[in-house]
Amino acid sequence: MLLQIPNILTKDQVAHCRRQLDEAEWVDGNVTSGPQAALAKKNMQLPEQSPVARALGEMILSALGRSPLFFAAALPARIYPPLFNRYRGGESFGNHIDNAVRTVPGSSVRVRTDLSATLFLSEPDEYEGGELIVEDLYGIHRIKLAAGHLVLYPASSVHRVTPVTRGTRLASFFWIQSMVRDDGERTLLFDLDRAVQQLAANAPDHPIVVQLTGVYHNLLRRWVDV
């Protein structure tokens, strides 16, 4: 499942992020790359232990916690602390697949990367290029969202960022370990949940709402991995 989630951050929150990122010290983006990704990755990144990265990451995690759509789609068990990257001057990230497991720095906590997320912090007209390209069974998806909007996609997907030929592309990226490991099962649960929510809004007293809600939770109970 590939899903765009609008307005994770407000305009004021995006502006706050931009001010902090403008003053931050950036390092080579390969500080978090595996050997294969390092060959394809040319960008800059905030150090994971940076106070700016930690503070902005906490703000993003709080915002995610207020998004019912994010929760319904991701069913998060663990979220890797958000990271931040910057592309400009022709920088890009070639085709790659994200590592299956990430260890949170300074801890023994491991996150299985079921889902990848990119939260855009630059407006589309501020830069040329910089599209996130995600390949899946349904074809090639080109993604370039408004600042504050997020895209969620399977971490097993081949994806890349095209060269930024003008301006600067700022984004936050992170990974989610879902309570439901399988993407197909997660997609079915999401579709069922959205259908139940729509039915409940249109016919709140209809007995089928309770029945379908029970089906959702019984499937979740069968598939959940916590």
Q: Which residues does the annotation place in the binding site?
A: 96, 98, 159, 169
The residue length of the chain stands at: 226
- Going by their DSSP bridges, the two strands 92-96 and 158-161 should be labelled as antiparallel
CA distance 113 to 48: 17
Q: What are the binding residues for 2-oxoglutarate?
A: 169
CA distances from 158 to 25, 96, 112, 162 (A): 30, 5, 17, 13
Amino acid of residue 173: F
Residue 24 CB partners (closer than 8 Å, separation 6+):
46, 50, 52, 53, 84
